[in-house]
Amino acid sequence: MKLHSLEIENFRAIKHLELDFTDELSKPRLMTLIVGPNGSGKTSIFDAIAIVVKAYGDIKDFIIRDGLVVSPRQIIRGKGNISKIGFSYSVSEDEVAAIRKLYSEMAYMGHMEIEDKLSLGKKFPVQESLNVTWSFPSFSISNQSSDLIDVLGARAVAQKAIVGNLESPSILEKIGGVCYLDQRRTVRLEHSIFNNKNEENIDNDVLLLLYKYYSRHITWNEEKFGESYWSRIKRLFNKICYPSELVRFESGPDSDTLIFKKNELEYDLYQMSSGEHQILRILVGMTSAIAKNSIVLIDEIELNLHPTWQKRLIRALRDDTDNNQYIFTTHSPDVIGLFYDSEIIHLGKLSE
């Protein structure tokens, strides 16, 4: 899934805004940086992107991020009566094929009455702009084929199939979605492939996920399945945070922790710097969301990061081979210098 354009009306901090995420050839950009001062609506843009995809997953009462629940008081701007979000996107042929296969299998097993959806992908051209409009509080859809909604809601269907042991988690690698890393870099287990809702603490979430990745890495068949989740996180962390290194997961009779090394000195999770925590949260967050063929949103990418690490993180994501579309927000002049002018959307002067 790739985002082409967005039109937002009467939504949170935004009265009306139109944004284009395509290049000079009308293809979705690999990277976009949204720049603006505090209060300019940067986070509201991310909320709008996330809410459209989640809403079409047949979820009516849901949390977009910590502190934001879908309710008239939080969604509709000022004293208005309705919010609207126009969402223009595209999907690849491989993504449509995976979605059609998912719906076909679910229908065959009697879990969905969707025989009419088995022609999904034949009624519209893939890799071209598709348009839907989300309205709140009516949750209505404006002038679009239901097939378009089936595409946006496919990841939610896949997650339900995984929870019911009807599909393997690898299906999510083929179906795009939205990975939203807000300013808290929240990693929620209930949003990951490890469906455990009892963990609340962010550090425990990250630690538990990494334990599972490390445990699976031990017996992972890289010739068959490629790089393991643990190997990917470790490789990117070491590339971005050098000379700091993620070494291993270590268990003992009283605790479990991560072991890092810097200049031959080992230290654990609780001795990490805030910058190392940020990088780890970003990498684990993307991994737990299975951010492949997806729209990845990172709010204020510079948080707690030295300019050198900001540069390394952007470079690492530019070299990404997971076919993601990255959209960032910032109010840091240092971050602006890491992007081409054609990749930057300005919402106002940083001095405002």
- Tell me: do 244 and 339 sit in the same domain: no
**Consecutive H or E run containing 315:** helix 307-318
Is 100 domain-assigned? yes
pLDDT in tens, 297-320: 999 999 989 999 999 999 999 998
Q: What is the CATH classification number for the domain harbouring 330? A: 3.40.50.300
Q: Which residue has the higher pLDDT, 52 or 349?
A: 52
- Which tops the pLDDT comparison, 333 or 150? 333
Judge whether 269 lies within some domain. Answer: yes
> What is the spatial distance between Cα 281 and Cα 258, in angstroms, rounded to a whole number?
13
Confirm whether 351 is domain-assigned. no
- Residue 13 and residue 155 in one domain: yes
How far apart CA 45 and CA 85 sit, in angstroms, is 10
- Say whether pLDDT at 175 is over 60: yes
pLDDT band at 78 (very low <50, low <70, confident <90, very high): confident
Same domain for 322 and 264, yes or no, is no
Helix axis angle, 307-318 to 229-241, nearest 10°: 140
Tokens (6 digits) for 249: 């997961």
204 and 182 share one domain: no
Residue 322 included in any domain: yes
Question: E strands, the chain, where?
Answer: 2-11, 14-20, 31-35, 63-65, 68-69, 83-90, 130-136, 178-181, 245-251, 256-262, 265-268, 295-298, 325-330, 344-346
Closest alpha carbon to 346 in 57, 53, 89, 17: 17
Residue 128 reports pLDDT greater than 80: no
Same domain, 47 and 94: yes
The per-residue pLDDT of the chain, averaged, comes to 83
Does residue 202 share a domain with residue 185? no
Q: What is the mean pLDDT of residues 145-163?
A: 75
Q: Same structural domain for residues 154 and 89? A: yes
- Name the domain boundary from 248, 268, 288: 288
pLDDT at 261: 96
The predicted structure's pLDDT at residue 75: 82
Res. 195: pLDDT tops 60: no
Residue 245, in any domain of the structure: yes
- Per-residue model confidence (pLDDT) at position 147: 56
> 84-113 burial, b if ≥16 CB within 10 A, otherwise e?
bbbbbbbbbeebbebbbbbbbebbeeeebe
Give residue-wise pLDDT tens across range 157-168: 888 888 888 888
CB 245 within 8 A of CB 262: yes
Whether residue 281 sits in one domain with residue 297: no
pLDDT at 200: 45
* Residue pair 162/168 in contact by the 8 Å Cβ criterion: yes
Q: Is a pLDDT exceeding 80 seen at residue 197?
A: no
Beta partners for residue 249, in sequence order? 258
For 152, the domain range is 2-192+292-346
Q: Are residues 306 and 327 in the same domain?
A: yes
- 245, 263, 288 — which closes off a domain? 288
C-alpha 36/C-alpha 348 separation (Å) is 5
Q: Same structural domain for residues 282 and 306?
A: no
Looking at per-residue pLDDT, the higher value among 24 and 195 belongs to 24
Q: Is residue 6 part of a domain?
A: yes
- 35 and 51 in a single domain? The answer is yes
More confident: 200 or 348:
348
pLDDT greater than 90 at residue 243: yes
User: How buried is 8 (Cβ within 10 angstroms: 0-12 exposed, 13-18 middle, 19+ buried)?
Assistant: buried
Q: Would you state the structure tokens that stand for residue 14, as one six-digit string?
A: 């935004």
Provide the number of structural domains found in the chain.
2
- Parallel/antiparallel/unpaired status of strands 256-262 and 245-251: antiparallel
Please indicate, yes or no, whether residues 158 and 113 belong to a single structural domain of this protein: yes
Give percent of the chain with pLDDT exceeding 70. Answer: 83
Within a 13 Å sphere around the CA of 305, how many CA atoms are in the beta-carbon half? Answer: 24
Examine residue 242 and state whether it is found in any structural domain, yes or no: yes
Helices (H), 1-41: none
Q: Are 152 and 133 in contact, with CB atoms under 8 Å apart?
A: no
Whole-model pTM: value is 0.88
The residue among 288, 314, 334 that closes a domain is 288
